[in-house]
A = this chain, B = another copy of it.
Amino acid sequence: MNQPSQKKRPSMKDVAELAGVSQTTVSFVINNTPDAGIPENTKQRVWAAVKKLGYRPNVLAQSLRMQRSGIIGFISDKIAITPQAGKIFEGAQDVAWAHGKILLLVNTKNNPELKDAGIDMLLARQVEGIIYGTMFHRPVDPPVSLREVPTVLLDCFAEDRSYPSVVPDEIAGGQKATEILINKGHRRIAFINCTDPVPASFYRLEGYRTALRIHNIPYDETLVYESISTPDGGYRGTQALMRLPDPPTAIFCFNDRMAMGAYDALRKLGKRIPNDVAIMGFDNQELIAAYLYPPLSTMELPHLEMGKWAVNHLLRQISGKKDVKPVQHKIECPYIERDST
């Protein structure tokens, strides 16, 4: 019933013994090695022994022998632990699995020591490559040890562009969001930006201005309000904007959390969404966007796609297709239409 010690797992040698062949033959049969010329009869004996013993190849030994671990390291400050970004990991894992690789996740919680220890661990485990991700789009300065192995930056980029990276196309996202509002007939479109000096805030604003320019709408800086990126910030921004002599008929919020605050402010003012004021969010945080009344139209960050691209690119590097130059790949943010626009 209860063996004191775990019984040892069977090895190829055990299978070989039971089948009355050599270990080599077992290997040939299991891997279906071409040109090994093993007759059907023998193959069946081997497979029978495999079944009987419940044999399962030891990937550790395989990896050692073949000098290929099949592991891709995934290191990040918070990803996969943070709500919105879990999709990144999912996309990455999907592609990895499809190529017979597995993802080994390390999350560093923004702790530099943990980060270095994590990278060391990954390298010690012979990962074939590393994906270095962050929980929001930003510049990073990756540890030099990453140079030891092919690397892709995800949702971040090196200032000097010395690593390939994949990020959301914030400019296009901001532009598209604004254009959608313009196409619904709005002319007074406000933008509640956040005050953090992050690429997202710069680029989304840039996209917003580009859209206005293209559609010959003059840029009115009183329509751009900056605040902290919380519902509270959105609340205050909306209050201020609606107090303007010529208030906006549409508000593009830096993110869904701020849009949440905008909803509250408009509700308090007795304004209806989208009839009186249209609201556009950003991020598509399911818990917020889908459950607000009315459900929030928003731009989605391409988390899944970024995860996929990163692994695909990494695999390309690993198989050494050509010494691909470090690119910065931008992925479009899709528009999620709901009822607030």
Contacts and interface: CB of A to CB of B under 8 A. Distances in A.
A292 to B, nearest CB: 8
B86 A125 contact: no
A234 B123 CA distance: 50
Contacts of A124: 56-59
A89 B81 contact: yes
A250 B244 CA distance: 39
Contacts of A312: none
Interface string A93-122: 100000000111111010000000000110
Nearest to A80: B80
Nearest to A89: B81
A162 interface: no
B60 A125 contact: yes
Given A61-B64, A288-B287, A104 B107 contact: no
B103 A105 contact: yes
Given A105-B105, A267-B267, A320-B5, A59 B125 contact: yes
A224 to B, nearest CB: 23
A333 B48 CA distance: 51
A291 B260 contact: yes
B83 A90 contact: no
Given A64-B64, A86-B83, A107-B93, A59 B126 contact: yes
Interface in A245-273: 257, 260-261, 264, 267
A82 interface: yes
Interface string A64-84: 100001000000000011111
Contacts of A264: 293
A59 B64 CA distance: 10
A94 to B, nearest CB: 9
A231 B83 CA distance: 19
Given A83-B83, A105-B105, A107-B93, A64 B56 contact: no
A285 interface: yes
Contacts of A80: 80-81, 86, 89, 105
26 contacts: A2-B323, A4-B320, A5-B320, A56-B123, A56-B124, A57-B124, A61-B64, A64-B64, A80-B81, A80-B86, A80-B89, A83-B83, A83-B84, A83-B86, A83-B286, A90-B107, A102-B104, A102-B106, A102-B125, A105-B105, A257-B287, A261-B291, A264-B293, A267-B267, A285-B287, A287-B288
